[in-house]
């Protein structure tokens, strides 16, 4: 039996409504499922109720974006166009209605609200006719709560400027591309603390996306997070090959961290199947036991 502890719904930038995910998980043979939408817990109640109906163990979660630059070895000054990488933290077994986490999500939403118009302005400067109202209408039609770059990418696809959302990121809005704007991000320690205060476990998501220069920088970075009370490391992920899985599992063992894993499923807009990472259900059970549930 397997579990999938990293998925997204239309409450953030996924393509599947949260209430439909558990049935898909059941069909994929999963025993446990986590919903970890970006910077919102809005989809958790509906997903939890649906999971109970189909007999899938449910893990309420969230994915928070934190400041990658804060963990670069000093001194560090980003160069123009520097592809710094991303630092995302999963919160597993959180309380969906925790007021502190809700306040943090509002702060993140405000940062997004400042960033998205800047991205669209840069696209307009490049001669691409796209408006914020078009992006907002798309999100509202999908029932989403969080407006992000994938939604901008979807509008670019709909208007013929890109062949796919991935193409939109590669050509226009991904890190290092002409319309990319880096948003203000949470200090890593604040994100971890908010997850803990909401009753959750803090897991470093897809460490490969931090773009560490080598194994030494990776270990340095994870050790820094461990000093901030990071609980675990996402070992299985769609971006991790066998070598990364082996390396991250060994690193977690050396540092006394828990392991987790998931597909990072986003529905039909991303070619990654729910449950595709075949994470053993024992991983879910170990995390659940540590969470005291």
Q: Quickly state the pLDDT bin for 183 (edges 50, 70, 90).
A: low
* Tokens of residue 167, six digits: 């193409």
Query: How does pLDDT run across 210-223, given as a tens digit for each residue?
Result: 999 899 999 999 99
Mean pLDDT, range 223-243, rounded to an integer: 97
Mean pLDDT, range 25-51, rounded to an integer: 97
Query: How does pLDDT run across 105-128, given as a tens digit for each residue?
Result: 988 888 777 888 888 989 999 999
pLDDT exceeds cutoff 70 at 293: yes
Q: Quickly state the pLDDT bin for 62 (edges 50, 70, 90).
A: very high
Which pLDDT score is estimated for 81? 55
Query: How does pLDDT run across 140-164, given as a tens digit for each residue?
Result: 887 766 777 888 988 999 999 999 8
Mean pLDDT, range 186-206, rounded to an integer: 97
pLDDT exceeds cutoff 80 at 182: no
Query: Which CATH fold would you assign to the domain 2-291?
Result: TIM Barrel (3.20.20)
* Tokens of residue 248, six digits: 């991250």
Q: Quickly state the pLDDT bin for 279 (edges 50, 70, 90).
A: very high
Which pLDDT score is estimated for 261? 98
Q: Which long-range contacts does 119-128 make (Cβ < 8 Å, 24+ apart)?
A: 119/149, 119/152, 119/173, 119/179, 119/180, 119/181, 120/152, 122/178, 122/179, 122/181, 123/152, 123/156, 123/172, 123/173, 123/179, 126/172, 126/178, 126/179, 128/156, 128/159, 128/161, 128/172
Q: What is the mean pLDDT of the chain?
A: 91
Which pLDDT score is estimated for 160? 92
Which pLDDT score is estimated for 72? 83
What's the CA gap between 7 and 25, in Å, rounded? Answer: 10
pLDDT exceeds cutoff 90 at 198: yes
pLDDT exceeds cutoff 60 at 79: no
Residues 6+ positions from 106 with CB-CB distance below 8 Å: none
Higher pLDDT, 171 or 113: 171
Mean pLDDT, range 177-202, rounded to an integer: 90
- Among 65-69, 87-91, 231-235, name the one with the lowest average pLDDT: 65-69
Mean pLDDT, range 74-102, rounded to an integer: 83
- Among 3-7, 52-56, 63-67, 73-77, name the one with the lowest average pLDDT: 73-77
Share of residues in the chain with pLDDT > 90 (%): 68
Which pLDDT score is estimated for 166? 85
Which pLDDT score is estimated for 66? 93
- Among 28-32, 77-81, 161-165, 227-231, name the one with the lowest average pLDDT: 77-81
State how far the alpha carbon of 167 is from the alpha carbons of 100, 177, 181, 184, in Å.
37, 11, 17, 25
């Amino acid at each position: 039996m397997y579990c999938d502890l990293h998925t997204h719904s239309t409450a953030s930038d996924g393509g599947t409504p949260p209430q439909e995910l558990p049935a898909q998980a059941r069909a994929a043979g999963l025993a446990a499922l986590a919903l970890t939408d970006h910077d919102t817990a809005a989809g958790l109640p509906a997903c939890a109720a649906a999971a109970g109906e189909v007999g899938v163990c449910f893990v309420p979660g969230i994915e928070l974006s934190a400041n990658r630059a804060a963990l670069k070895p000093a001194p560090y000054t980003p160069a123009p166009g520097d592809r710094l990488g991303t630092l995302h933290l999963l919160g597993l077994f959180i309380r969906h209605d925790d007021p502190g986490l809700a306040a943090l999500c509002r702060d993140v939403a405000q940062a997004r609200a400042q960033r998205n118009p800047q991205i669209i302005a840069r696209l307009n400067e490049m001669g691409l006719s796209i408006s914020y109202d078009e992006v907002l209408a798309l999100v509202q039609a999908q029932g989403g709560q969080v407006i992000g770059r994938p939604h901008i990418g979807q509008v670019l696809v709909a208007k013929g400027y890109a062949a796919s959302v991935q193409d939109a990121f590669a050509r226009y809005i991904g890190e290092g591309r002409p319309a990319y704007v880096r948003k203000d991000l949470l200090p890593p320690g604040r994100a971890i603390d908010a997850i803990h205060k909401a009753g959750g476990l803090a897991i470093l998501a897809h460490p490969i996306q931090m773009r560490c220069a080598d194994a030494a920088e990776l270990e340095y970075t994870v050790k820094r997070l461990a000093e901030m009370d990071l609980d675990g490391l996402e070992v299985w992920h769609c971006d991790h090959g066998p070598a990364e899985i082996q390396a991250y599992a060994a690193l977690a063992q050396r540092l006394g961290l828990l392991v987790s894993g998931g597909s990072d499923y986003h529905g039909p807009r991303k070619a990654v199947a729910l449950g595709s990472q075949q994470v053993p259900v024992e991983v879910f059970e170990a995390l659940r036991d540590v969470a005291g549930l």
